[in-house]
Amino acid sequence: MALPGAKVIASASVPAGAFTLARPAMLPDFADRLRDMPAFCQVKIFATPSTQSHIGIEVWLPLKDWNGRFLGTGNGGGAGMIAYEMGMVEGLKRGFAVANTDMGTAPDINQSLNKPEHWADFGYRATHEMTRIAKLVISAYYKTSAFRAYFAGCSTGGQQALSAAQRYPADYDGILAGDPGNNRTHVAASFVWNHAALTASPAAQLSSAQWATISQTVIKTCAGKDGGAPGDRFLTDPRQCRFDVSHLRLCQAGETSDSCFSEEQIGTLRRLYAGPTNPETGERIYPGLTVGSEDQPLGPAMQGSAQWPKQQFYLFDWALGSSFKPSSFDFNHDLDRVDARLSSTLNANVADLSDFARRGGKLLLYTGVADPAVPVAEVVNYYDRLAAAAGGTSEAARFARLFLVPGMGHCFGGPGVTNIGQWGEAMPVSPENDILMQLVAWTEGAKIPEQIVARKPAGTTSPAQERPICAYPAFPDYRSGDPARAASFACTPHAKGVDQAPASRYLN
């Protein structure tokens, strides 16, 4: 078919169960998830909204039992490829026509130096082009224009989600945004801050076993005292945890152990928990590391590695070129230069979603309470600002809710009860366990979701578990009974707000 600003380059009918992919390292059971995929039409497209753009897009169309809806899905990191594993498979299984984009950064986002059109594609335009084109393809294939549109993404996908709500409020009827990297230039600044602290000297570095010791000490200090159940190996509300690095044992002279820490290592920890601030004005740039997230994937062990800069520092190369050095980055003047060049393109910090709400749009936000990459304080602060812009929490709740998942790391997994039907987890077993389908039901006329029942499968030494995930400011407080059952908890309001809210200067 002819598409304005784009071209179909391939299409194929894929039989049920015939789609195969290399296994993503983060999802070891992904091959198993592909075996029961339904038959679909796979359409590959390239879009060129500018002469410099080359945006890869895929649209999947169920051959049978289409549910009459479109689901746009998000990407991760610097994108650069179609993210099949980030919601496309599960969306197709639910009956959606689904789409994804490489965000215009293929094959490697580090190759987008001096290409501002690529920056615009990555920041917002590729997602809009995917949406526009997918709707045209769906309309032509099913011969209808009467269908609902939804978006689901986490991390970079969460940034795509909030950017769509802010820039293109008519693109989607319902949006699911997880662990969003929407404050892009400043979460990246926090990565530079952490990397510099973690690599300042060999004596400042910590081993993986030491990070585990820190998390174990945090859990011993605070778990079960913040609303959680006795025996929890994770925090429910880390804002109530009064852990301090002084709780850790200092190594004696000449001692090397994974259970003690040097003065240099204690200094590293203080810097990570404090988070990045402007050295001249003292203004907060971004929240610090959340207590209880220390040993999770994408945490300090990864952020201090040699691979981290190549994966996460691309935007500093874009804005500063060869003058960028992580070890000498100036968090005042250099960050101002980065923001001046990139914040209006890459960030999605606007809290006024009145245009999206006015046309009936619904937004569900969720985040892992133990996320070490996007601290829970950042997401809570965004929702609080959204509520203020809407005229208060009760007004915001008419179109936007936030769900905080205790014990979940970045987007999925972790020691908590974390399966709410988001990408990365197994398909949910019931509608009450499915945050995406609860969003669909709410958008199409059902009641406002107050809780999602999270699940965790049985392990070799533990039973299957359930726990309610509550709409902020409520948290699942343990009452009595079996902590593996959702009925043993009640959604109870906790205090609103966070201690480490960024200064308005860094919400541009």
**Catalytic residue IDs:** 155, 371, 410
Residue 317 in contact with residue 111, Cβ under 8 Å? no
Residue 48: how many CA atoms within 13 Å on its side-chain side? Answer: 6
Which is nearest to 289 in space by CA: 307, 308, 270, 302? 270
Question: What is the CA angle 296-301-307, rounded to 5?
Answer: 115
Name the token pair of 219.
Answer: 């859990």
Pairing between β-strand 40-47 and β-strand 69-73 as defined by DSSP bridges: unpaired
DSSP state, residue 328: G
What is the rounded CA–CA span in Å between residue 235 and residue 219? 7
DSSP state, residue 296: S
Q: Distance between terminal CA atoms of the chain?
A: 40
Residue 15: how many CA atoms within 13 Å on its side-chain side? Answer: 1
Burial 9-42 (b: 16+ CB within 10 A, else e): eeeeebeeeebeeeeeeebeebeebbeebbbbbe
Name the token pair of 502.
Answer: 């960024």
Listed in sequence order, the residues at least 6 apart from 391 whose beta carbon sits closer than 8 Å to its beta carbon are none
CA-to-CA separations, 253 to 198, 214, 257, in angstroms, rounded: 22, 20, 11
What is the rounded CA–CA span in Å between residue 250 and residue 107? 46
Name the token pair of 455.
Answer: 């699940």
Task: Residue 279: count other Cβ atoms within 10 Å of its Cβ.
Answer: 10
What is the rounded CA–CA span in Å between residue 125 and residue 421? 27
Residue 162 in contact with residue 187, Cβ under 8 Å? no
